[in-house]
Amino acid sequence: MNARKLGLFLSSIVLMMLIVACGNDAGKAKEGAAENTGSEKQAEQKEYKDELNIALTAQPPTLDTALTVSAVALDTAGNIFEQLYTLNANYEPVPALAESVEISEDGLTYTFNLRQGVKFHNGKEMTSEDVVASMNRWLVTSSRAKVLLTNAKFEAVDPYTVKLTTEKPTSDVLILIASQAQFGSIMPKEIVESAPADGVKEYIGTGPYKFQEWKQDQYIHLVRNDDYHQLIDTEPSGFDGRKEAPAKDLYFHFVTDHSTRIAGVKTGQYDVADSIPIESYDELAADKNINLLSFPGGALTAFFNTSEGLLKDVKIRQAILAAFNNEEIMLASFAKPELYSLAPGYLNTNQVQWSTDAGAEYYNQSNPEKAKQLLQEAGYNGEEITLLTTKDYNEMYTATLVIQEQLRQIGMNVKVENFDFPTFLEAKNDRSKWDIFVASTGYQLTPPQLLAVNPDWAGLDNETVKQALIDIRGASTPEAAKQEWEKLQGFLYEYASSTVIGHYNGVIATTKKLEGFELFEAPVVWNAKVAK
């Protein structure tokens, strides 16, 4: 595939994505244009606080972005670190620390021209040696990069140019580099080379905020980078555009108790609170001092242990799928039907390039008699299975309890193991400790980025899946790629390695005094400030 065809295919994928927006930026712009001179003068006189306080539902397991899919980790680290490419509000990959890219005719080589004069938080200028060290580490530590960019390599061409060589021409290289999940943070070479196996501990990036302190079980404190080199002086757009850092201090508080988080945003202790539990929705909606923002959050997904234990038997996994009543699970987890929907697709149902109902015959069957018959055929004899969960995410915990009861109803012996979120992620990686876990999985831009097909996430190691990913990425047209994805999604349901339970809207609460805040794939706070 030559560079022109590759570029056209990439553009087609991005342009065909109809992602539901959480706010109407155009409307806000019109409102701003309509303000009279008196309002502008009043705005000039307004005073703002020096700090911004954000309440997170869990403590991040790390701030080493290449190692984690944790939203709280990536949302926080995105203020410290920057990428070669990033996503704008239209989900297009656009230059960030890179200034531009040239793609070879054979689609195997990407030459990135770097921005000059960019300084790390320690005062050192960023050059190609830092980018090469950072991105080569990303290629071998990010589970997505390991699978999707196998044997790829970054090399320095000169101090401000780097070259990426890939094994095969594929349509999604820039999307992978620009995506937030497990993004490749550009750090000083010496930090990268001294990083221990469990992740970087010295958080030095190029972003608008610098790491100051991590007080375990309490907060992460970031301070404004007064020497920030503005990459793009354009209107903010997704993760792209101007980054002003008006607040001197950012505090990310770990508030795992939902009632404490709600009380804090109501009293003004917190300016932003994430993961608002649905039972608090009406209470906060009635508060005149609070804004509630709803956005397409992702898919609540159940993952099955296909590599170890009782669920290694596909017939038992199929029995569990037959037992699931997804409506019951989603209603218990999200309470308000307007905040969730049922559909078997793993990606955003409004994303026309990839939306499909393949595998629907295995989805939301709610058929306990069929489930019992399959268990009998599998020779199930009351062996115990373990559901892994965390109370730090209310919807994950509630869904797990409902699933436990549904499986008990078909005669299965089920126990629930609950941990705090970082421990949950550790336990998930030990496949001898669990049989099923439920996770709130944010939407991805392409099927190969899904956790459901990532062998490092839940242990799915299947040749059919691996070949299907190659076929999707190597397809000559968007239509051909979608056909390959439809076949793969159907296989995932038949193989019963995982299942979407339902699609949910996330809810975030902010004070009405908050300005410059944007909700994209994550809360974007680097332009946010709070009026006194």
Q: CA-CA distance, 172 to 473, in Å (whole number)?
A: 7
Alpha helices per DSSP H over 89-223: 128-141, 143-148, 173-178, 189-193
Q: Which residues partner with 417 through β-bridges?
A: 388
Position 339 scores a pLDDT of: 87
Give the CA-trace dihedral at 210, 444, 389, 338, to 10 degrees: 110
Whether this prediction's pTM lies above 0.75 is answered by yes
Q: Are strands 529-530 and 249-254 parallel, antiparallel or unpaired?
A: unpaired
Q: Which amino acid is at 382?
A: G
Position 77 scores a pLDDT of: 97
Task: With CA atoms as reference, report the closest residue to 329 among 161, 503, 197.
Answer: 503
pLDDT tens over the chain, length 532 residues: 444 344 434 444 444 443 434 334 433 333 344 444 454 555 557 899 999 999 999 999 999 999 998 999 999 999 999 999 999 998 899 999 999 999 999 999 999 999 999 999 999 999 999 999 999 999 999 988 998 999 999 999 999 999 999 999 988 999 999 998 899 999 999 999 999 988 999 999 999 999 999 999 999 999 999 999 887 778 999 999 999 999 999 999 999 998 999 999 999 999 999 988 878 888 999 999 999 998 888 999 999 999 999 999 999 999 999 999 999 999 999 988 888 999 999 999 888 889 999 999 999 999 999 999 999 999 999 999 999 999 999 999 999 999 999 999 999 999 999 999 999 999 999 999 999 999 999 899 899 999 999 999 999 999 999 999 999 998 888 899 999 999 999 999 999 999 999 999 888 999 999 999 998 878 999 999 999 9
Alpha helices per DSSP H over 16-48: 25-33, 37-45
Element (H, E) at 75: helix 71-77
Position 68 scores a pLDDT of: 92
111 phi, psi to nearest 5 deg: -105, 115
Q: CA-CA distance, 84 to 78, in Å (whole number)?
A: 13
Give the CA-trace dihedral at 345, 277, 510, 49, to 10 degrees: -120
Q: Write the DSSP assignment of 407-436 as a string of letters.
A: HHHTT-EEEEEE--HHHHHHHHT-TTS-SE
Q: CA-CA distance, 84 to 175, in Å (whole number)?
A: 11
Position 44 scores a pLDDT of: 59
Distances in Å between the Cα of 14 and the Cα atoms of 87, 149, 213, 430 are 11, 20, 38, 36
39: left (phi over 0), alpha (psi -120 to 50) or beta: alpha
Q: Is 402 helix (H, G, I), strand (E, B) or coil?
A: helix
Q: Are 261 and 507 in contact (CB under 8 A)?
A: no
Q: Write the DSSP assignment of 480-512 as a string of letters.
A: HHHHHHHHHHHHHHHHTSEEEEEEEEEEEEEET
Residues in CB range of 44: below 8 A, 6 or more apart: none
Q: CA-CA distance, 473 to 471, in Å (whole number)?
A: 6
Position 37 scores a pLDDT of: 46
Q: Is 312 helix (H, G, I), strand (E, B) or coil?
A: helix
Instruction: Give the single-character DSSP code of 155.
Output: E
Task: With CA atoms as reference, report the closest residue to 406 among 344, 327, 304, 299.
Answer: 327
Position 336 scores a pLDDT of: 86
What token pair was written down for 434?
A: 């669990």
What token pair was written down for 390?
A: 């965390």
Tell me the CB-side half-sphere exposure of residue 105, using CA atoms within 13 A. Answer: 0
Which domains does the chain possess?
3-11+49-271+513-530 (3.40.190.10), 298-505 (3.10.105.10)
Position 142 scores a pLDDT of: 94
Q: Are 437 and 302 in contact (CB under 8 A)?
A: yes
